Amino acid sequence: MYYVYIVKCSDNTLYTGYTIDIEKRLENHNSGTGAKYTRGRTPVELVYLEKYNTKGEALRREAFIKSLPRKKKFKLIESE
């Protein structure tokens, strides 16, 4: 299973990524060993999650979400 997720950082910015282990990935983000972007913005909070069967699907969705303007990302989060 592959996951596409959005976390809200402590400075109220959003970070989108993909992983195969969401719990471990969140631990990495919050311990400062995750993405470079989130290292100085901890703690992060999971605000959105989607599941996919293939890596390709997840990567395409991640790229699409990353291309969205901030307002549309918040609308996506609120639709959950």
Domain ranges of the chain: 2-78
Q: Quick check: 2 and 54 in contact, CB under 8 A? A: yes
| CATH architecture of the domain with residue range 2-78 | 3-Layer(aba) Sandwich (3.40)
pLDDT given at position 23 = 97
Burial of 57: CB neighbours in 10 Å, binned 0-12, 13-18, 19+:
middle
Greatest alpha-carbon pair distance for the chain in Å reads 32
pLDDT given at position 80 = 74
pLDDT tens, the chain, 80 aa long: 999 999 999 999 999 999 999 999 999 999 999 899 999 999 999 999 999 999 999 999 999 999 999 999 999 999 97
